[in-house]
Amino acid sequence: MSKVFVNIGLSLDGYMAPEGMTMGKPEYKNWGAKWGAMMGWIIKQQAFRDNLKLGPGGETGPVNDLVRSTTDRIGANVMGKRMFDQGEVAWPEEAPFHTPVYVLTHEKRAPWVRPGGTTFHFINDGPERALELARESAGSRDVRIAGGADVIQQYLNLGVVDELEIALAPVLFGGGRRLFENLREPGPRLRIDRVLAGPDATHLRYVRS
């Protein structure tokens, strides 16, 4: 069976997104600079540039290999409505997923087909149903819970997350959307599976024990 995993960037003080993050207004509460400091490591990677068709160049090496292997394993994505709304105004026409994407929402909307293999499906029946559909479409590949924080928390509370991959950047946000809030007791039991030190982030993988 395919695995369910989370793969995100995180600030050193535990935030997935800085306070005031609103696409189109990067100067608002300086969120654009904060986000760039946290995620700058991935923009440098050749695999990321290839995926977004940003042109030749980019770094190679262990971190790049990690980005490429993560991209290659994804057969479907699950995300929340807020993440989708932010991305809808910011993603290029060829959205950067190249898989089915299941959006948790109360809005009823027909599937949105984008060039390059991405189709957004809008799911009104809760996180369990979204995951069921994602597993079906992923086949032997894995399902990524893309975010935001509240959606990841829902799946952690359901006990279905097999792996938690965090790129921990040495950046302090001081506020924003925390990853580990609203978790039920007992929380997920995890063990360290891998640590890869990069110059701009430490890449951690935890697996369910």
Q: Which domain does 97 fall in, by range?
A: 4-208
Count: domains in the chain = 1
Q: Per-residue pLDDT averaged across 44-58, rounded? A: 91
Give residue 26's pLDDT band: very low, low, confident or very high (50, 70, 90).
low
Write down the pLDDT at residue 100: 98
Distance CA 167, CA 147 (A): 14
Answer yes or no: is pLDDT of 24 > 80. Answer: no
Burial class for 157, CB neighbours closer than 10 Å (0-12, 13-18, 19+): middle
Q: Per-residue pLDDT averaged across 13-24, rounded? A: 86
Write down the pLDDT at residue 41: 96
Q: Which of 163, 170, 8 is nearest to 80 (CA)?
A: 8
Distance CA 50, CA 6 (A): 22
pLDDT per residue over 111-149, tens digit each? 999 999 999 999 999 999 999 999 999 999 999 999 999
Give the CATH number of the domain where residue 67 resides: 3.40.430.10
* DSSP per-residue codes, 190-205: EEEEEEEE-SS-EEEE
Give residue 22's pLDDT band: very low, low, confident or very high (50, 70, 90).
confident
Give residue 31's pLDDT band: very low, low, confident or very high (50, 70, 90).
confident
The per-residue pLDDT of the chain, averaged, comes to: 93
Write down the pLDDT at residue 165: 97
pLDDT per residue over 84-113, tens digit each? 988 888 888 999 999 999 999 999 999 999
